[in-house]
Amino acid sequence: MDKNKVSRFTKMIEGLQEFSLLVRDVFVHLGSVKDNWNETVKEMYLIGTKSFFLIFLGGLFTGIILALETGHQLETFGATAWIAKTVSLGMVRELGPVIAGLLLAARTGAKNTSELGAMQLSEQIDALKAFGASPIEKLVIPRTIAALVMFLPLTLIADIVGIFGGMLVSNQTFHSDISVFWNTAITSLKMKDLFVGFLKPIFFGFFIATISCYFGLTTKGGTTGLGKNTINAVVYSSALILVIDFIFTKVVWELL
């Protein structure tokens, strides 16, 4: 029993070391994106346009639910005018980035791991190395850059659509004026709210891309191993998103 625990702990440390080396290599070879621009644009298309509808629905219903839950509570105090501020701050600072991040971790993370894992199992990664090509430059960098570029606009879409959903609920259910809602929603946002809301997706995108690529490149054990690593990529990415979100929120409230 103790040996098994030690073995699992050792594997965890080794995995963390390998992931750290992968992150280092990503920064070292970041300039190679210009040599693989077509692949990068392709990944941007797959992440952006293919995820649009998912992000749209996620953001819309998050805003609707947030407005409904807070609206019924605020209504008891006659403070339904605060729905706009609650939805606006909630979407931009927290729920927009987190919901978009979790949805993209599931979609993009699973995609990256399954693609690279299949290449690893079919020895295509070894073939790249044999021809003198770097898997980091050819496969990881394009996916990482694409995530860094596309996660922010997708999060903005989730924010805007979520606030729009909150506006619909506020107007139709609690009979708030639309112009007053939008004026309150916009004026409630401070620079630090926008800063945090725009910075989170960049970190989320980077870690989702690198974690999913790491699990793809380290796939072993056939289709069973591929399935396990795909699940691990989504789970670890999702967990890290929540941790990063907590850190950002804590730092912002204490320092800004």
pLDDT score at 81: 87
pLDDT score at 62: 97
Q: How far apart are CA 225 and CA 167, in angstroms?
A: 46
Are 51 and 103 spatial neighbours (Cβ–Cβ below 8 Å)?
yes
pLDDT score at 201: 95
* Mean pLDDT taken over the chain: 92
Residue 160 domain-assigned (yes or no) = yes
pLDDT score at 37: 92
Residue 164 domain-assigned (yes or no) = yes
For residue 184, give Cα distances in angstroms to 21, 61, 176. 47, 20, 11
Q: How far apart are CA 32 and CA 195, in angstroms?
A: 29
CB contact set of 20 (below 8 Å; sequence gap of 6+): none
Q: How far apart are CA 57 and CA 158, in angstroms?
A: 8
What is the count of structural domains for the chain? 1
Residue 86 domain-assigned (yes or no) = yes
Residue 25 domain-assigned (yes or no) = no
Which residues, given as ranges, of the chain have pLDDT below 50? Answer: none
Residue 143 domain-assigned (yes or no) = yes
pLDDT score at 48: 87
pLDDT score at 6: 64
pTM for this prediction? 0.91
pLDDT score at 217: 94
pLDDT score at 5: 66
Sign, CA dihedral 34-39-40-41, equals: positive
Q: In terms of residue numbers, what domain contains 212?
A: 30-255
pLDDT score at 55: 96
- Tokens linked to 140: 């990881």
Residue 11 domain-assigned (yes or no) = no
